[in-house]
Chains A and B, each alone.
Chain A
Amino acid sequence: MRRIAAALLGLLVLGLAPARADEEPRRGGELIFVVPSEPPSYDAHREETFGLIHPLAPFYSLLLRIDPTDPNGSRIVGDVAESWTESRDHLTYTFKIRRGLTFHDGQPLTARDVKASYDHIIFPAAGVASSRKGAYVAFESVTAPDDRTAVFRLRWPAAAALALLASPWNFIYSADRLRQDPRWYETHIDGTGPFVFVEHVRGSHILGKRNPRYGRPGLPYLDGFRATFVKSDSAQIAAIRGGRAMVQFRGVSPAEREQLQKALGGEVRIQESPWDCANWIAMNHDRKPFDDRRVRRALTLAIDRYEMASALSKITIVRDVAGVQVPGTEYATPPAELETLAGYGRDIARSRAEARRLLREAGVTEGFRFTLKNRGIAHPYEPVGVYLIDQWRRVGLDVSQEIIEPAAYFSTIRAGDFEVAVDFQCGYLVEPDLDLYKFQSTGVSDANYARYRDPVLDDLYRQQSRATDKAARGRAVRAFERRLVDEEAHYLMTLQWHRIIAQRRQLRGWYITPSHYVNQQLDTVWLSE
């Protein structure tokens, strides 16, 4: 079943994507794309916004990267790593670094730079904050015994080790630069990527030109790129429609897709994929009656997810009914098994009858009122919130929505100032370690806004994270999922986001993946005219 789902996912992407093998890439031209957000600084080790990845990834290399031609966005290939080996005890990863790589300032790249870059992320200098350090708790040390060898030692086997080393945020920086000033990369750009930085006009654009010394012969195809910052959705669409830009790499809404198709016809190509992002509903375990799992289960049972998918996919960027993993991917629960989880059954009348029974049993009376706090972002937060309110009213709950300004949103929910709130989870790779981390007990995970403690869940996380056997890991992920969304119903999953990319016809060699954080080095992208 999983294979069928994976094949369907592949077909969906391939069927809509531009042709691959039958076209000879053409050299030259400048790719112009719009970016809805702008990087606060240039340091990818520090920032969190895709607004950094899209315009800056072309200047850098990674140790490993996601194969830019893999539609699942999960095949890991070497970037500055030529090859690697894993020890029998799964505790040591040894990477051979490619020869002949140079930074844009002319300095050669060696294993020492790889070590310094990962030390900057995992073991930052005193006074330097690393917001991703927590993802690398399994990593004990990074060493560079010689110029071409980087060795990563782990404290315990980590199933996600390679995925973590393929993070699109882990730009390889120069060891010398970092030694002189650990904050140098916040304000400067010097990588080994396919493009060389030309200029950044704040609020306007970032410009890059081809790196003639790029380590992959014949690449990049483009002469350069221009990333233009356009905040407004309508202005982004107008820019593509008017030929001022060729693409926006994050994603557009269904309405915008149709608008462009109608206006441009064959001039626009559409690629679609499930998106490794989802809205989750946090039910505050510190507030009554949401400390009662019967109430939480009732809330999830009340939702007709299949109808929700059908209705909302027409108007916003959600589509698939899913568990804790993107449908069709390696550890995703097959649809038939998913239907056995609370709130995923096809018989909605039965589910709602059960929800009413649980609410009665928990002492929640008809017309019980609570507030759903939602983030003030149109897509998909607001339609998702409105739909949920309607579903909960059908089991006798009186729910109102309070929209919180995005800037105040995280302060509100991190402080626990809510009963029920719309939360979200987004990953750069479909990988259980990355996708499930936030759902561990509060205290273990600082992003668990539902504020529960569940040692069983934490143990299941550890089991899947340290499993060296894929089948065992799959079982642990499935058990984690059942406990999270069914047995304890700590969190409530809504729908998987759906990514839609509308690009001008001449843009070739770029393939959609479930993440808007990967596949942005642009070395394999070319323009047909």
Chain B
Amino acid sequence: MLRYVLKRLLLMLPTLAGVAVLVFVLMRVLPGDIVELRFAGESSFASKAALDLERGRLGLDAPLWRQFARWIGGLVRLDFGRSLWTGGPISREIALRFQLSLEVAVLATAVAVLLAVPLGLLAAVRQDTWVDYAVRLFSIAGLAVPSFWLGILLILGLLVAFGWLPPIEFTPVYVSPWRNLAQLVWPALAVGYRYSAVATRMMRSAMLEVLREDYVRTARAKGLWPRLVLWRHAVRNAMLPVFTVIVLEFAFLIGGLVVTEQVFNLNGLGLLFVESIAHRDYTLTQALVLLVAVITVLANFVADLVYVWLDPRIRYA
């Protein structure tokens, strides 16, 4: 088991190295220049000499290999450097937003799991009844409706019905749990619903497949209590693909809620990501891409470990 874990951990390194090279090159290929954008965009008076001076200060006039070496050298020391746009340490820029993004991801995952597991189970057990049809309709609607659109509807609904809008500034949960929840529960619902739709359908189909397996038929044939057959033999096995979907979606939620964050004015990583690209803030974009890559790789790693726990066949193989 320990060897398996170590092997999986070591495999992360070339993946992350590849991501680092790719993001560095891609950012340099993109047209646009942070210095022109910042100083010449709205001014008629910015001279070429002033722009060149600023490029030199930011280190953008150095050869690419030197810029890359400087960045990688920093990463090795766990120093992400400074944002070219704000001049602030990147670790601080990210830490500020990470708390919010993580909380939304956790809340949305909770919403998704609480909806998906019972609904998928119910639909499979009551296949082709009105219950199954209702669950399928609910989940297909979730897939069809973009979460940002649902978010806009939620906001308009709250405004029209109660004349109330969720807070537009983030309050940490330890400062005011109520205010924190009042802001984050709405995007969590909007995102969690779409997320649950994917998981519900996966849960239903996995359950249907498992319920037709020989070992389930055998368990029933030997007269086991139906609830025991369902929970001990069927659900546990059906959870394998569902868990994969949940883990991968969770990793996506950390940095991928770009539009939803705009709709609810959430100061999260998704918005920071978009802004860093829009500003051509190379150092910040590189750090964010790498962060999302690390989270995705770790999420996959966790999924693999849970597989081992859920399915002994993997462990023994």
> Which A residues have a C-beta under 8 Å from some C-beta of B?
34, 40-41, 46-49, 127-135, 186-187, 201-205, 228-232, 234-235, 238-239, 241-245, 263, 405-412, 414, 425-426, 434, 437-438, 445-447
CA distance A426 to B40 in the complex (A): 12
Q: A202-B88, A414-B36 are in contact. Are A235 and B263 (CB under 8 A)?
A: yes
Residues of B near A229 (CB, < 8 A) are 267
In chain B, what residue has the closest Cβ to A183? B87
Q: A228-B168, A238-B165, A406-B278 are in contact. Are A49 and B44 (CB under 8 A)?
A: no
Chain B interface size band reads 35 or more
B39 touching A131 by the CB < 8 A rule? Answer: yes
B168 touching A230 by the CB < 8 A rule? Answer: yes
B42 at the A/B interface (Cβ < 8 Å)? yes
Q: 7 interchain pairs (CB within 8 A)?
A: A40-B86, A40-B87, A134-B46, A201-B170, A238-B159, A242-B159, A407-B278
A49 touching B42 by the CB < 8 A rule? Answer: yes
Please provide the chain B residues from 31 to 86 with a CB less than 8 Å away from any CB of chain A in the complex.
31-33, 36-48, 50-51, 53-54, 57, 85-86
Residues of A near B237 (CB, < 8 A) are none
In chain B, what residue has the closest Cβ to A186? B87
B163 at the A/B interface (Cβ < 8 Å)? yes
Residues of B near A129 (CB, < 8 A) are 39, 50-51, 53-54, 57
Residues of B near A411 (CB, < 8 A) are 31-33, 36
Q: A129-B57, A131-B43, A231-B271 are in contact. Are A204 and B170 (CB under 8 A)?
A: yes
CA distance A40 to B58 in the complex (A): 14
Residues of A near B48 (CB, < 8 A) are 446
Q: A48-B38, A135-B45 are in contact. Are A187 and B87 (CB under 8 A)?
A: yes
Q: How far is the CB of B34 from chain A (nearest CB, A)?
A: 8
CA distance A414 to B50 in the complex (A): 15
B36 touching A133 by the CB < 8 A rule? Answer: no
B204 at the A/B interface (Cβ < 8 Å)? no
Residues of B near A405 (CB, < 8 A) are 32, 278
Residues of A near B40 (CB, < 8 A) are 131, 410, 414, 446-447
CA distance A48 to B42 in the complex (A): 6
Residues of A near B88 (CB, < 8 A) are 202
Partner of B165, one of A135, A243, A445, A446: A243
B304 at the A/B interface (Cβ < 8 Å)? no
In chain A, what residue has the closest Cβ to B277? A407
Interface secondary structure of A, over-half rule? mixed
B278 touching A228 by the CB < 8 A rule? Answer: no
B179 at the A/B interface (Cβ < 8 Å)? no
Partner of A408, one of B30, B263, B265: B30
Residues of A near B87 (CB, < 8 A) are 40-41, 186-187
Q: How far is the CB of B52 from chain A (nearest CB, A)?
A: 9
Partner of B42, one of A204, A205, A407, A426: A426
B155 at the A/B interface (Cβ < 8 Å)? yes
A203 touching B165 by the CB < 8 A rule? Answer: no
B97 at the A/B interface (Cβ < 8 Å)? yes
Residue from B169, B263, B279 whose CB has the most chain A CB atoms within 10 Å: B169
Residue from A127, A135, A245, A410 whose CB has the most chain B CB atoms within 10 Å: A410
Partner of B169, one of A205, A243, A408, A438: A205
B45 touching A134 by the CB < 8 A rule? Answer: yes
B93 touching A407 by the CB < 8 A rule? Answer: no
How many A-B pairs have beta carbons closer than 8 Å: the answer is 146
Q: How far is the CB of A517 from chain B (nearest CB, A)?
A: 10
Residues of B near A204 (CB, < 8 A) are 169-170, 267
Q: A40-B85, A204-B170 are in contact. Are A242 and B36 (CB under 8 A)?
A: no
Q: How far is the CB of A4 from chain B (nearest CB, A)?
A: 31
CA distance A242 to B277 in the complex (A): 31
B247 at the A/B interface (Cβ < 8 Å)? no
Please provide the chain B residues from 11 to 44 with a CB less than 8 Å away from any CB of chain A in the complex.
30-33, 36-44
B250 at the A/B interface (Cβ < 8 Å)? no
Q: How far is the CB of B47 from chain A (nearest CB, A)?
A: 5
Residues of A near B54 (CB, < 8 A) are 129
Residues of B near A133 (CB, < 8 A) are 45, 47, 50
CA distance A134 to B40 in the complex (A): 12
Residues of B near A134 (CB, < 8 A) are 45-47
Please provide the chain B residues from 146 to 171 with a CB less than 8 Å away from any CB of chain A in the complex.
152, 155, 158-159, 163-165, 167-170
B169 touching A234 by the CB < 8 A rule? Answer: no
Please provide the chain B residues from 231 to 260 with a CB less than 8 Å away from any CB of chain A in the complex.
none
In chain B, what residue has the closest Cβ to A49? B42
A234 touching B152 by the CB < 8 A rule? Answer: yes
Residue from B30, B42, B44, B278 whose CB has the most chain A CB atoms within 10 Å: B44
Contacts A235-B263, A407-B30 given; 12 further ones with Cβ under 8 A? A127-B57, A131-B45, A134-B45, A186-B87, A201-B169, A202-B267, A235-B264, A235-B265, A406-B37, A407-B37, A408-B32, A410-B40
B191 at the A/B interface (Cβ < 8 Å)? no
In chain A, what residue has the closest Cβ to B264? A235
A408 touching B42 by the CB < 8 A rule? Answer: no
Residues of A near B32 (CB, < 8 A) are 405, 407-409, 411
CA distance A187 to B33 in the complex (A): 23
A242 touching B262 by the CB < 8 A rule? Answer: no
B197 at the A/B interface (Cβ < 8 Å)? no
Q: A232-B262, A245-B168 are in contact. Are A407 and B50 (CB under 8 A)?
A: no
Q: A133-B45, A234-B152, A235-B264 are in contact. Are A244 and B165 (CB under 8 A)?
A: yes
Residues of A near B86 (CB, < 8 A) are 40-41, 202
Residue from A132, A238, A241, A245 whose CB has the most chain B CB atoms within 10 Å: A238
B203 at the A/B interface (Cβ < 8 Å)? no
Q: Bits for B170-185, please: 1 = Cβ < 8 Å to A, else 0.
A: 1000000000000000
Q: A203-B271, A204-B170, A437-B45 are in contact. Are A48 and B39 (CB under 8 A)?
A: yes
B272 at the A/B interface (Cβ < 8 Å)? yes
Q: How far is the CB of A446 from chain B (nearest CB, A)?
A: 5
Residues of A near B152 (CB, < 8 A) are 234
Partner of A232, one of B37, B43, B265: B265
Residue from B43, B54, B152, B277 whose CB has the most chain A CB atoms within 10 Å: B43
Partner of A230, one of B51, B57, B265: B265
CA distance A435 to B1 in the complex (A): 72
B280 at the A/B interface (Cβ < 8 Å)? yes
Please provide the chain B residues from 102 to 145 with a CB less than 8 Å away from any CB of chain A in the complex.
none
B302 at the A/B interface (Cβ < 8 Å)? no
